[in-house]
Amino acid sequence: MSSGNFNNTNASARPWFERLDRIDRRWIFLLMFLAVAGPILWIGVTGKTLPEAPTLAARAVFEEIDHLPARTLVLISFDYDPASAGELQPMATSLVRQCAAKNLRMVFIALWPLGNQVAQQTIQDVIRDDYPALKEGDDFVNMGYQAGNEAVMKLLLTDFAKAFPKDSRGEATSNIPMLKDVKMVSDFPLLISISAGYPGSKEWVQYVISAYNEKMNFVTGCTGVSAPQLYPYFPQQIAGLLGAIKGAAEYESMVNASLAVDGVATPPKYLQAQRRMGPQLVAHLLMVGLIIVGNMIFFARKRRGAA
């Protein structure tokens, strides 16, 4: 499709596929904006969301956490920054919510510099606001960001305290009660990574899970771009996988259903992913329509050329 202006002389004389083929691509951008903005406004006003049917990979994430006994240590790695929060924050919120509701002991780490801040924000939104009884140092701790990418992972294999010598407050790891018995990463029965790329889920599989596949399980939530690279690891090396906003919406609906209280509406902050599935639906329908129109133009031109 043409990007600029085109000569309109004899435009009406052109066949339909020629006219469509030369349409200014900014009309496509406008259509896409409307396809996204319309459902956001509609869902924002009505509060209605689309129903979700969880797939196997999303169910596996929920069940991995659900089967853990209370007080189990869980290592949660925030391997993303605000640029990917649109996709990943809803799943991070739901993951922390399920862990908090199950009374699991959560250890937050970040391998991305701004991962520390998004972890801190998630702790504020979920734990401090809705589970105030959980105590920092006993029930959860944020170890902050550590530079080094794979080197940090390799160090975690042998010495957790060396990889993260202090938490984000400056408290020495040896003084944190909940980490008293933690020597290395395999002391965590479950590792969760919320990953936007490098370093992230793939590196966790390569450097940690391949070494400790028998001792610890690994579940991950990832962006749409990286999901296809991670599916081959499911279910052997990655026990559960949330792929993009769709995976987040499926998982979110399961967590909400499991924590639902009769007569009490789910807080809106736990519906972020499901709200974003409305724009996804309309925008995908538009994409499918455009692909069909593109093919129709292609075959019409081919037939005209053959004739």
Partner 1 sequence: MTRQRKTWLVLGAVFVALLVARGMIGQGLGRVYVKRTDVTVKLPETAVNDVAGAPSALTSGSTNASTTTASTQAMETPAAASTASSSATTISWQEWKQVTPLEFNAAQKANPAQTEITLSWPRTIGLWLAAFFTLAIFSFLYADNPFYKIAESLVVGVSAAYWGVIGFWDTLVPKMFGALTPGLVKSLVQPSLVAPEKLQQISMIFALILGVMMLWRLLPRGGWISAWPLAFIVGVTAGLKIVSHVESDLMAQAAATMKPLFVSVTDASGATNMWDSWWASVANVLLVAGVICCLAYFFFSVEHKGVVGGAARVGIWYLMITFGASFGFTVMGRIALLAARVEFLFDDWLWLIDPNHFRGL
Binding site residues, partner 1, CB under 8 A: 26, 29, 32-33, 36-37, 40-41, 43-45, 47, 84-87, 113, 117, 120-121, 124, 128, 136-137, 145-148, 150, 154, 165-166, 168-173, 175, 205-207, 209-211, 213, 223-225, 227-228, 232-233, 236-237, 243-246, 268-269, 271, 275-276, 279-280, 283-284, 287
Task: Check if the beta carbon of residue 66 is closer than 8 Å to that of residue 98.
Answer: yes
Could you give the 3-state DSSP secondary structure of residue 54? coil
What does each C-alpha distance from 244 to 86, 196, 230 come to in angstroms? Answer: 10, 10, 12
Residue 17 or residue 211: which is nearer to partner 1 going by CB? 211
Task: Check if the beta carbon of residue 238 is closer than 8 Å to that of residue 211.
Answer: no
Structure tokens at 297: 């133009």
Q: How far is the CB of 283 from partner 1 (least distance, A)?
A: 5
Q: How far is the CB of 38 from partner 1 (least distance, A)?
A: 10
Residue 68 or residue 81: which is nearer to partner 1 going by CB? 81
Residue 68 or residue 233: which is nearer to partner 1 going by CB? 233
Task: Check if the beta carbon of residue 82 is closer than 8 Å to that of residue 114.
Answer: yes
Q: How far is the CB of 16 from partner 1 (least distance, A)?
A: 26
Q: How far is the CB of 237 from partner 1 (least distance, A)?
A: 6
Q: How far is the CB of 40 from partner 1 (least distance, A)?
A: 5
Residue 3 or residue 9: which is nearer to partner 1 going by CB? 3
Q: How far is the CB of 105 from partner 1 (least distance, A)?
A: 17
Residue type, 24: D
Q: How far is the CB of 34 from partner 1 (least distance, A)?
A: 10
Residue 36 or residue 300: which is nearer to partner 1 going by CB? 36
Task: Check if the beta carbon of residue 160 is closer than 8 Å to that of residue 169.
Answer: no
Q: Cβ atoms within 10 A of the Cβ of 149, count?
A: 16
Residue 188 or residue 233: which is nearer to partner 1 going by CB? 233
What does each C-alpha distance from 107 to 18, 41, 166, 191, 229 come to in angstroms? Answer: 59, 37, 12, 10, 26
What is the rounded distance in angstroms from the CA atom of residue 25 to the CA atom of residue 23?
6
Residue 51 or residue 170: which is nearer to partner 1 going by CB? 170
Nearest to 192 by CA among 239, 229, 232: 239
Residue 166: phi, psi to the nearest 5?
-150, 165
- Write down the residue that tokens 């869980």 correspond to: 74
Residue 41: phi, psi to the nearest 5?
-65, -45
Residue 16 or residue 287: which is nearer to partner 1 going by CB? 287
Q: How far is the CB of 129 from partner 1 (least distance, A)?
A: 11
Those residues whose C-beta lies under 8 Å from the C-beta of residue 107, and which sit 6 or more positions away, are: 73, 74, 75, 76, 140, 141, 143, 178, 179, 182, 188
